Amino acid sequence: MITGELKSQIDQIWNTFWTGGISNTITIVEQLTYLIFIKDLDETETRNERMSKRLDKEFTPIFGADQQDFRWKNLKEMDVNERHSIFSNTVDGIFPFIRSLGSEKSLFSTYMKGATFGISKPAVLDQVMEKLERLDMSNQDIKGDIYEYLLSKLEGGGTAGQFRTPRHIIKMMVHMMQPTLEDTISDPAAGTAGFLVAAKEYIDKHYDVTELDKHREHINKHMFSGSEFDATMLRIASMNLFLHGVEEPKIIDVDAVSKDNSISDAYTLILANPPFKGTIDKESIAPGLRNVTDTTKTELLFLALMLRQLKKGGRAAVVVPDGVLFGSGKAHKNIREEIVANHKLEAVISLPSGIFKPYSGVSTAIIIFTKTDNGGTDNVWFYDMLADGKSLDDKRNLLVDADIFEAFSFGDVDVSLSAVEDLKNLHDKFNLPDVIKRFASLRDTKQSPEVKRKRTEQSFLVPFKEIKANDWDLSINRYKEIVYEEVEYDAPLDILKKIEKLNSEKMSINDKLSKLL
């Protein structure tokens, strides 16, 4: 969780760009990303040098003998104008060097070809680097928080309904899906690669160094994939993953639901928040997707795409607008029937309606399913998530302690921990730990407490037959039972007698006061 001090430092850097004449949000994020990337490369090189000396083991340096001026530690000691010339040199400068990173013809090096230096004033570069130097990014988690805060500046609804998923919701979804070292993970609407980075962080945390080293090539080249058609997002996503230890992420430049994307049966896990309320030209849509759901709506087409791209047995956790769950159109019903009847729908988690504020008030849910090609849905788990630990107004302030928010959200602490005095009060503000715990219990269906939960509770199971009978409706309100507390009122004549008695007492008091006066 980013602290107020760190946030203030980043905001000061942001203001430096503004006062220096650079006001475009994407340009600022992109230039800051490059600078953080350059700084991180030098820190990585320094760590490798120390490790090499300690273990007396050779390593392949990032910076060659003639590229030492590109190292952050040397750049910050230079004269202002000399440093700026190294950045702005389009032939032998630092940006041609950045564009050459990664193996030859790698996707990373391909997308970095568009990376250009955009700070025209030497003084602005000097001030920004000076302020970046004060940021402590030695801790990977803090670095991730800083980068997430930078990327949050990009938040906002796009023309196709794109907006970033809150980080804690991403991490909740990742913890529910529990990615492994054997997985091939994709986000077909990658954006800044938030889901893929969270999956990498989860894997780093849950496996030891020996296991990670054994799977290093798989992690670097095969584990993480995605698609994105915005050139800036491609570069930011690639650098985001590179900074998190994925050297060759496969973030391809393609409109995911178009004819140009032919990927199928490729992934074991998909994590995504595809665009809402977007449309695509009918002639551009991949024919196979329209066979599943004949529509131009992106939120439906992406679900059909995921079914195509998953391997048999592959799983998906996807954020969808509520309309997908209960829309009465033929395309909506077709995609729901496809997932429930022909594959295995496991869960529908209804999210609080203000979760994307202040950028959107759209109501959303998470659906979790497994590709089977032969059905398998028996009972679908519904959870009515009422609170995510933040206020549901435009300010989205934390309602619980920041440390508890982080620890309880993401499995660092047992949710039954007695050290937290008022778990009931915590749950009223913060459902994430409960969602993760209850979903995990479903793996043992016979012993899971969810089997005995009533429809009046926050989570419960609904059998396949009932969903089919309700025309494949997946909205939680269709199945949730609301108990109204009966209130007994006095009879009208009794109420009138009480009023007359009160009036009489009032007149008596007035008479006594009059006599006293």
Cα–Cα distance between 186 and 423 in angstroms, integer?
Answer: 36
Looking at the domain covering 155-472, what would its CATH class be? Answer: alpha beta
Q: What are phi and psi of 493, to 5 degrees?
A: -65, -40
Question: H-helix or E-strand containing 460?
Answer: strand 459-463
Question: H-helix or E-strand containing 314?
Answer: strand 310-321
Cα–Cα distance between 482 and 113 in angstroms, integer?
Answer: 57
Cα–Cα distance between 427 and 386 in angstroms, integer?
Answer: 10
Cα–Cα distance between 36 and 183 in angstroms, integer?
Answer: 29
Q: Which residue, 289, 291, 311, is CA-closest to 301?
A: 289
Q: Sign of the CA dihedral 454, 458, 463, 465?
A: positive
Cα–Cα distance between 231 and 455 in angstroms, integer?
Answer: 47
Q: Which residues contact 369 (CB under 8 A, 6 or more apart)?
A: 315, 316, 339, 343, 344, 345, 346
Cα–Cα distance between 454 and 347 in angstroms, integer?
Answer: 16
Q: What is the structure's pLDDT at 26? A: 83
Upstream peptide bond of 179 is cis (omega within 30 degrees of 0): no
Q: What is the structure's pLDDT at 106? A: 57
Q: What is the structure's pLDDT at 105? A: 47
Facing residues of 270 across strands?
A: 186, 316
- 8 A C-beta contact, residue 381 and residue 442: yes
Cα–Cα distance between 37 and 220 in angstroms, integer?
Answer: 17
Cα–Cα distance between 469 and 256 in angstroms, integer?
Answer: 33
Q: What is the structure's pLDDT at 411? A: 56
Q: What is the structure's pLDDT at 268? A: 98
Cα–Cα distance between 206 and 177 in angstroms, integer?
Answer: 13
Q: What is the structure's pLDDT at 283? A: 83
Q: Which residue, 168, 222, 223, is CA-closest to 194?
A: 168
Residue 271 DSSP SS3:
strand
**Residue in this structure with the two tokens 């009515």, named with its chain if needed:** 384
Does the structural domain 4-148 have CATH classification 3.40.50.300? no
Q: Which residues of 145-177 are buried (b: 16+ CB within 10 A; e: fewer)?
A: bbbbebbebbbeeeeebbbbbbbbbbbbbbbbb
Series of mean pLDDT values for 10-residue runs along the chain (517 residues): 77 92 87 85 86 82 90 93 93 85 60 80 94 78 68 54 74 96 96 91 91 93 91 81 82 88 95 84 84 89 96 97 94 96 97 81 93 95 94 85 72 48 74 92 85 94 97 96 77 86 86 80
Cα–Cα distance between 485 and 392 in angstroms, integer?
Answer: 27
Chain centroid to CA 344: 24
- 8 A C-beta contact, residue 181 and residue 265: no
